[in-house]
Structure 1
Amino acid sequence: NGRCSIVLVFFLRCLLCRLFPCHQQKCGFRKVAKRAESKKEAEQAEMLHKRELNPQMEPPTPHHPGRSFGRLVKPLVFTVGFTGCSFGAAAIWQYESLKYRVQSYFNEVRADWLDKLRPQKHGDLRKQVNQWWNSLSEGQRSVTGIIVANALVFCCWRIPVLQHAMVKYFTSDPASKALCWPMLLSTFSHYSLLHMAANMYVLWSFSSSIVNLMGREQFMAVYLSAGVISTFVSYVCKTATGRLGPSLGASGAIMTVLAAVCTKMPEAKLAVIFLPIYTFSAGNALKAIVALDTTGLIMGWRFFDHAAHLGGALFGMWYILYGHELIWKNREPLVKLWHNFRTRGPGTGGSGSL
């Protein structure tokens, strides 16, 4: 039960994009009236003409949830398929990582021995970077790639020529033409620097705990799956309520990480970075966050994507309590299949072993 610093600030831009056509065509009814038509006939003609133009002049009515839910079939299939592929790839990654470590053990020993014989270079930038990298925990090294990816996407938002593509593929919106890939790409997308800094700080703070709890490979599968699952929950809630609009940010996936750590270690002491003298248990922090997002979802608050937060938190709690046993511990058949494929492939000379 270590003491951690946590920033519970999640900013999500929720932009409601609806276009209300307001053009009106005025035909020459006054001229017709001037041609000695009676006032009654002119009014009847004008009313008839307005009825004909009515579908163009009235603002579009909200989509009926029953019709809109049909658009969620494809995102649902993508969510299930991507989650399965993520955990399958993580299992194979773990297998290859273990195999590499065993095979390269003596090579690393030999490299260390040769490094000691070579004259040491002082002030070498590469050596300093290696020393910094080696000083990081395994969890911090695991999330460094995620942070770099978020920083690159943040820079892409500042390139004017990419704005259309960024809005289309790096924001998730159930009303958009692109539905599936934005569910993943929006997890790495932040338009505000403060939004990105807060999310990445929380991820960095909990990186060691979550990787020690799950391992590097399993953590990456959970994080990527959480981004897609939380976005799908947001899709469902937006479609049901009719409050459509784009969302972006890693908050849903980070809520999964936060919920997983707090569920596994509910007695761990947390503190707000601005008030480090006030500590509270991780379990109470998780309950407060879930209660806040539930209230925001019921009340219709639009400052945060509360549905995505709740989806991420519920997935994190479910995975720690049940998902680890149901998914990760049942990866052995896939690993055996991959092992047989690797050892009986061309040029292996028969069956082998790890």
Structure 2
Amino acid sequence: MEAVSVYSWGATFVGCAIWEYESMRSHALNMLKKPIKFFRRQAEYGLDKSNKLSKEVTKWWNSLTTGQKVFGPICALNILVFAAWRIPRLHPFMLNYFASNPASPHQCLPMLLSSFSHYSGFHLLANMYVLHSFSTGAVYSLGKEQFTALYLSAGVISSFTSYFYKILRKQPGLSLGASGSIMAILAYVCMQYPETQLGIILLPFITFSAGTAIKFIVGLDAAGVLMGWKFFDHAAHLGGAATGICWALYGNKYVWPQREPIVSYWHQVRGSIK
């Protein structure tokens, strides 16, 4: 199972490194083609009356921050998976691939896919609210590719932590939800900006620093693990938080730069920009 976890984490890291390379390559090609596009637009001006809805959607999308553009697809995927849980005939498939379970014959994909899976509408709403609140700051600090690598890696690591805890305590059961990945993002932001003031939605008069918040959350989940609480998957939360903290301390400096050999190899396979 540990090998499966390492394989899954490695796949997310490699995929995001290649994505960053492709984004940079696409940007370079677009810059080279800009003069051609300019003259083409001038020639076609007034002839193409494409539908206004498409233009409005494009205008709205371009007005979003990079963090919001990353949050949008993640939120949409979570909503689609939530909708799939509402279809009874899909339940066997969803249980096999969108819920992590140490007793399942499928171990690799559920570690990742379960982090996009919610059965409860309230669980989905709460997780997406927290992710939306912290994604902009995290993407600004990390960039969209490194953010995605952290988010997906934390999903795998939190699932593995949950597996390990259930096996240790002999408590089989299903786990699903984006909480592990979101805990990593939350922990990263709190570590990077510990003096940022946070608050509670229903109690806006209560504020506390981000550094205090992450200490309290980690302490609460550690107590949940030690005392065997079952209200949340506290082990998965701890796994996600540990990933975010480690990434803030070491990942950006020591792990992400190691993508260079991957990018160089991909560049050779794909071919140089032409």
Could you tell me which of 152, 166, 170 is aligned with 2:94? 166
Residue by residue over 1:18-60, the C-alpha shift from the partner in whole angstroms, topping out at 9 and shown as x without a partner, is: xxxxxxxxxxxxxxxxxxxxxxxxxxxxxxxxxxxxxxxxxxx
User: What is the CA–CA distance in structure 2 between the aligned matches of 1:211 and 1:137, rounded to whole Å?
Assistant: 10
* Moved segments of 4+, more than 3 Å: 106-113, 115-123
User: What is the CA–CA distance in structure 1 between the aligned matches of 2:197 and 2:37, rounded to whole Å?
Assistant: 42
State the secondary structure of the residue aligned to 1:143.
Answer: helix
Residue type of the partner of 1:295?
A
> How far is the alpha carbon of 1:144 from its aligned partner?
1.1
Which residue is equivalent to 1:317?
245
Does the CA contact (< 8 Å) of 2:14 and 2:262 recur in 1? yes
Structure 1 residues 108 and 144: CA distance shift in structure 2, 3 A: farther
> How far is the alpha carbon of 1:252 from its aligned partner?
0.4
- Identical-pair percentage: 49
State the secondary structure of the residue aligned to 2:134.
Answer: helix
Residue by residue over 1:66-88, the C-alpha shift from the partner in whole angstroms, topping out at 9 and shown as x without a partner, is: xxxxxxxxx31121112122212
Matched, 1:234 2:162: yes
Matched, 1:285 2:213: yes
Does the CA contact (< 8 Å) of 2:8 and 2:108 recur in 1? no
> How far is the alpha carbon of 1:131 from its aligned partner?
1.7
> How far is the alpha carbon of 1:275 from its aligned partner?
2.2
User: What is the CA–CA distance in structure 2 between the aligned matches of 1:277 and 1:133, rounded to whole Å?
Assistant: 34
- Asked which structure has the greater CA Rg, the reply is 1
Residue by residue over 1:282-340, the C-alpha shift from the partner in whole angstroms, topping out at 9 and shown as x without a partner, is: 00000110011111111111010000000000111011101222221122222222223
Structure 1 residues 118 and 156: CA distance shift in structure 2, 3 A: same
User: What is the CA–CA distance in structure 2 between the aligned matches of 1:238 and 1:151, rounded to whole Å?
Assistant: 28
Matched, 1:217 2:145: yes
User: What is the CA–CA distance in structure 2 between the aligned matches of 1:155 and 1:342, rounded to whole Å?
Assistant: 37
Structure 1: runs of 5+ lacking an equivalent: 1-74, 344-351
Q: Given the two structures, how large is their TM-score scaled by the length of structure 2?
A: 0.92
State the secondary structure of the residue aligned to 2:198.
Answer: strand
Which residue is equivalent to 2:14?
88
State the secondary structure of the residue aligned to 1:340.
Answer: helix
Matched ranges for 1:24-173 at <5 A: 75-108=1-34, 111=37, 114=41, 117-118=45-46, 124-173=52-101
Residue type of the partner of 1:93?
W
Matched ranges for 1:15-26 at <5 A: none
Structure 2: runs of 5+ lacking an equivalent: none
Structure 1 residues 111 and 353: CA distance shift in structure 2, 3 A: closer
Which residue is equivalent to 1:45?
none
Residue type of the partner of 1:76?
E
